[in-house]
Structures are given as structure tokens and as C-alpha cells.
Amino acid sequence: MRRLIVNADDFGLTAGVNRGILEAHARGIVTSATLMACGAEFEQAAALATQSPKLSVGCHVVLVDGSPVLERTNVSNLMENSGGRFRESLSSFAWLAVLGRLDQQQIEAEITAQIRKLQAAGIQVSHLDTHKHTHMFPVVLRALLRAATSCGVRAVRNPFEPLVFASTGQWKRQFQLRILRRYQRSFREALAASGLVTPDGCIGVLATGGLNLTTFTQLTENLSDGTWEFVSHPGYNDADLGNVTTRLRESREKELEILTAAGIKKMLQRENIELISYRDFASLSPEPEVPSPLTVKQ
């Protein structure tokens, strides 16, 4: 059996992104979305989420290229040298993570604060993922799993895309993800020990920014048995998005067209792929009897 979760990232980023995600859910195949606690349009997104009860909403944890929920002094290890923002560069964050120079307690505290902000707004947080997939790094993963457990969140994105799909992406992203796959085994071990659940993997990451209907069809047709997540970024390229540092602009509207295309649901049905949400996924997964202590190898 093949199941597919279609998740829209960046909920709360701008009003145009919010509108695009809700349209992709109401008219298309988006079943889940992850909300940015520090997004400029967080309040609007939270209100829209409460009006869309079938949309499963998780937390899009931001530790790079954004602002913290906690006071700067409480997450000083994660900040740029000046200003009130996290480091902009994923590369510098990754380097510090590999060298063991990131404060795990500060990471856990910030992740917990972001989850709690969503819950305080009335969101039943169904799952977690991270901006730019920073939870591939063990120091972030350990903190994220503890925060999820303490906040009652059961599901986490599996950030690893099968290499069979590598030809669909840009060479630089292919190279980066191939290197980061060294953490895949420790990720699986940590999830098994934590009692949390995760899909078999994600697709669409390498195609981000250049997705078209043909690529989407190829990705889904070639899925193996199991539960998979398609990572999407629908939205409208409006004036607000012009004020955001992102490479995803025109591509958001193109993704919206794909996710709401006529016949897209019938194509998935023809392929015997069941659309589910993260909420569904968590409910289908049995509760662990006795979770083991969280361990992640360096």
C-alpha cells in the first residue's frame, strides 16, 4: 500500500502564502501544513487554520534565516553577532553543528517555545519539521525529539529523499543532500528510541523551485510501498513576498497550479495512492508501549 502526505511549508510567512496554502488544501491535494511561529502572518494563518478543521497543522521550526520566539539572551548561541535574527546561512549553521558548537539546551528551549506558541493559538500541533531541514543534524534532532515529547507531538518529518529521485534536482542540492545522508541511520535509530513516528521519507525536496506537473507525476508514480511525504511550497508571489529573503517566488504560484490541477486527484487514485494527513498518519501508528531513552549517535 502506498500513502502520501502532501505538506505545505511556510504557513504564516506572508498573506499570499497563507492564501495559496488554503486554496491548495480546499481545491487540491494539500492535506497538511507547517506553521512558522515567527512568521509575519502567524496570527492570520492560525485563524485560517481554525476555520479549516480538515487541514492537519504542524510546526515549521525555524532555527536559521528567521527570528526567535524567545528573547535573544536565551538563545544567544543561535544568533548572528548583531541584530535579533538567527544565522542566515545554513552552511554556517551546519558547520557549527558538525563541530559541536551549538547549544542543545537553547535549541530545545526555542523549539519548545515555537510549539507552545502554536498550541496557545488553539492549534493542535500534529507534526514537526524544520526550516531547511536542520533536524538532520543530531544536535538539533535530539532537542527536537525531546521538545516534541514534552509538548505531546507524535510525528516528525523524515527529511531524507531517496537518491533514486536525485536526477530531478539541482546539482548543488543533490551534492548537499548526498553528504547529509550520513545522518540517515542515526535519524532512524533516534526516532525508534523516542517512540515518535515518521514517514518512510520525503519527496519533492530536490525539485523545490523547479517543480512541474511531469516531475510531480514521475515522483508519485515511482513511489515504493509505505507512507511518504511530498514537500511543497504553494503560495502567491505578492508584494509581501518581495520583502522576504527567499529564492521561492514565482515557483510558489507554479506549485499551486500543480497541486490544484484538474485530474491530479484522479491520477493519484489511478496509481492507488491514498492521500492522508499527518494527523491520519499519527492515528494509524500504534502508541509505543515503553519509549526508550533518546539516543543519537554523533
User: What is the reported pLDDT for 298?
Assistant: 47
User: How do residues 156-186 score in pLDDT, each as one tens digit?
Assistant: 999 998 855 444 445 455 555 555 667 888 8
User: What is the reported pLDDT for 80?
Assistant: 85
CA distance 14 to 241: 6
**Confidence check: pLDDT of 205 > 80:** yes
Q: How many CB atoms lie within 10 A of CB 9?
A: 25
User: How do residues 233-268 score in pLDDT, each as one tens digit?
Assistant: 999 998 888 888 788 888 899 999 999 999 999 999
Beta strands 155-156 and 32-35 are: unpaired
At the second CATH level, the architecture of 2-284 is Alpha-Beta Barrel (3.20)
Query: Which residues have CB under 8 Å from 182's CB, separation 6+?
Result: none
User: What is the reported pLDDT for 174?
Assistant: 55
CA distance 166 to 268: 22
Is-contact 34 111, C-beta < 8 A? Answer: no
User: What is the reported pLDDT for 239?
Assistant: 87
CA distance 51 to 48: 5
Is-contact 9 232, C-beta < 8 A? Answer: yes
CA distance 44 to 14: 9
Give the count of alpha carbons within 13 A of 187, CB side only: 21
User: What is the reported pLDDT for 208?
Assistant: 87
Domain range annotation of the chain = 2-284
Give me the chain's average pLDDT, please.
Answer: 90
User: What is the reported pLDDT for 176?
Assistant: 56
Average pLDDT over residues 80-84: 79
Q: What angle do CA 245, 23, 67 make, to 5 degrees?
A: 30
User: How do residues 5-63 score in pLDDT, each as one tens digit?
Assistant: 999 999 999 999 999 999 999 999 999 999 999 999 999 999 999 999 999 999 999 99
Lowest mean pLDDT among 41-45, 204-208, 285-289: 285-289
User: How do residues 87-135 score in pLDDT, each as one tens digit?
Assistant: 998 889 999 999 999 999 999 999 999 999 999 999 999 999 999 999 9
CA distance 218 to 197: 26
C-alpha cell read off for 82: 548583531
CA distance 70 to 103: 14
Cα separations (Å) of 99 from 93, 95, 152? 10, 6, 31
CA distance 148 to 128: 8
Q: Please provide the DSSP assignment of 52-102 as one string.
A: -TTSEEEEEE-SSSS--SS-GGGGGGGB-SSSSSB-S-HHHHHHHHHHT-S
CA distance 32 to 229: 10
